[in-house]
Every structure is written in structure tokens, then in C-alpha cells.
Amino acid sequence: MADSSIASANSPLYAGRRRRNAIAKGLALAATIFGLGWLVLILGILLYKGIGGLSLSVFTEMTPPPGSAGGLLNAIAGSLVMTILAVLIGTPIGVLAGTYLAEYGRHDKLSSVVRFINDILLSAPSIVIGLFIYEIMVAPMGHFSGWAGAVALAVIVIPVVVRTTEDMLTLVPDTLREAAASIGLPRAHMIVRIAYRAAQAGIVTGILLAIARISGETAPLLFTALNNQFWSMNMNAPMPSLPVVIFQFALSPYEEWQKLAWTGALLITVTVLALSIIARSLTSARKSS
């Protein structure tokens, strides 16, 4: 027995296994560096190209006509308005639907169907959502509008909020619910006063993640809100948004426009990354406490 163990330690078989192990480990490390390298590369170039164009005029001036300088004020304002409206429309529906899945119908047949469909919506191509809103809002109304853009974004918000609300409510211990029920609290009150409060941070995280998701969405806005060269707060008219302006400006041959596109791209990325970092720290603070 002792002989065979010594033999196996030096055998070609064992050496081969060790070599394969080392190669696999090396490849794994290389793959990780490769993956992280893209993040560094993309953010680095974005900073380099975007920061040059960053000045006060970006926030105070309108998008310029071709060949002249200007800012992104109307695009930023349009994005803000549509994002806020989308969150106002999408969050209540999302939270309520998530509540149903976690509280009333946790083991329902309906819930498993809704859960499945919601997961599909969560990763459905956003351009298809744009087509859908075009068909039901833009075509019947006869014109592109800020409302259509906001509703398209809301459709993207809903599945994100449904998912996180359900997940977070499921994490609330059942003993809390039982305690509430035992003192005679009706279910609705138990949910609103106990379960929501316990899951608060998680639900807010879901909403923040949804905002992060829609603030960079371009495809669903292309043919719902369209774009607008001027300041417009009229929700019934085409409305500018930062992503669509970036799309238009980046593909243009004008240098000033391309520069503004990079600056806009930097603004969006910083917003999105900040939102997701805040969202993450909210949940991790909750977990550790």
C-alpha cells in the first residue's frame, strides 16, 4: 500500500492531473482579468472622452443645431420627467402585484403563471415594448408623445419591481405575520403595517434598480417619445431624452454633436452606476444589521 501511494505521487497520471489543474486555474484568472479589463477600458475611455465636454453649458443650454455648441438641458429634463412618470405609473402596479405573489397567492396556480410571465417580461427585448406602445398609443393618437415614452418605460419598470417586491416580502419571517394575525390584525393591515415595513429597504432597492434600468433605455423611446430639438414639457408632444439624443448625435457627422454624445453618455453611466451602488448598499446594510 505504501508503495502504491509513493508511486502515484510521482506517476505521470498524477502529474498530468496537477498540470491540468494549474492550467485551469490560470485560465480562470485570465478570464477574470479579461472580464474586468472591459469594465476598466469602457469606463476609462468614457471618462476620457466625456469629461472634456463637461461644462456648465451642458446643463444650461439646449441641444444645438448642427455645427454649433450647446448643451443637453432639454434632453436631461425630458429624461427626468419621463423617468419620474414611468416610476409613478409602474411602481404601484409592481409593488401590488409583487404583494399578491408573496402574500395572498404564494402557492396559487395564478401566481406561478404570473411569476413565469413576469420573468419573461423582465428580459424581453425592450425594442418590442417600444413597438407595443407604438401600436396601442402612438398609432391611435396619431402622434409621438412624452406620455407614450413614459408608459413604455413604465412597462419596463413593472417586472423589475414585481420581482424584487416578491423576493423581499418572501424574506420577511412568517412569525411576524403570525404575531400580527394573532392579535386580530386583518391581512391587508398586516401587509401594509408589518410586512412592508420589514421589507422596506428591499422594495426601495427594487425601485432604484428599476430607475437605473430605464435611465439608459433608448430602444423603447425611439418611436414613442421620439425626440425634440427644443425645450418641451408638453407630454402630448414629442419629447427629447438623453439616450435618444446620444443616439442621434453619435451617429451624426458633426464633431460638436459627437462630443455632446460622449458627455451625455458619461452622465447616464454615472447616474446608473451611482443608483446601482446606492441600491446595493441599502440591501447590504439591511442584511448586516
Partner 1 sequence: MAAGERDVSEVVLKGTTVTASEAASRSAVLKRLRLTDTIFHGLTRTAALTVLALLSGVIIALVIGAAPALGTFGFSFFFDETWNPVTEKFGALAPIYGTLVTSAIAMLIAVPVGLMVAFFLTELCPMVLRRPIGIAIELLAGIPSIIYGIWGLFVFAPFLQQHVQPFFIDTFENVPLLSTLFAGPPYGIGMFTAGLILAIMVLPFVTSISRDVFDAVPPVLKEAAYGVGCTTWEVFRYVVLPFTRVGVIGGFMLGLGRALGETMAVTFVIGNAHHVSASLFAPGTTISASIANEFTEAVGDLYTSSLIALGLILFFITFCVLAMARYMLMRLEKRVG
**Rounded CA gap, 206 and 219, in Å?**
22
Residue 242 grid cell: 438623453
Can residue 233 be called a binding residue for partner 1 (CB under 8 A)? no
Among 74, 118, 145, 164, binds partner 1 (CB under 8 A): 118
Residue 49 grid cell: 472622452
Among 70, 134, 194, 229, binds partner 1 (CB under 8 A): 134
Can residue 286 be called a binding residue for partner 1 (CB under 8 A)? no
User: What is the biggest distance separating any 2 CA atoms in the chain, rounded to whole angstroms?
Assistant: 87
Q: Which amino acid is at 49?
A: K
Q: What is the closest distance, in whole angstroms, from the C-beta atom of residue 45 to partner 1 in the complex?
A: 5
Q: Are 153 and 220 in contact (CB under 8 A)?
A: yes
Whose Cβ is closer to partner 1: residue 60's or residue 230's? 230
Can residue 54 be called a binding residue for partner 1 (CB under 8 A)? no
Pick from 247, 248, 246, 228: nearest CA to 237 = 228
Q: Which of residues 251-280 bind partner 1 (CB under 8 A)?
A: 251, 258, 261-262, 265, 268-269, 272-273, 276-277, 280
Q: Are 82 and 239 in contact (CB under 8 A)?
A: yes
Can residue 228 be called a binding residue for partner 1 (CB under 8 A)? no
Contact window for partner 1 (CB under 8 A) among 52-60, 75-83, 186-194, 199-207: 186-194
Q: Which of residues 136-165 bind partner 1 (CB under 8 A)?
A: 136, 155, 158-159, 162
**Residue linked to cell 425611439:** 222
Among 57, 111, 229, 252, binds partner 1 (CB under 8 A): 111
Q: What is the closest distance, in whole angstroms, from the C-beta atom of residue 255 to partner 1 in the complex?
A: 12
Contact window for partner 1 (CB under 8 A) among 28-36, 53-61, 72-80, 200-208: 28-36
Q: Please report, for residues 31, 61, 79, 108, 134, the alpha-carbon distance to residue 103 in angstroms, rounded to integers and kept in the order given.
A: 42, 49, 34, 11, 35
Residue 47 grid cell: 471618462
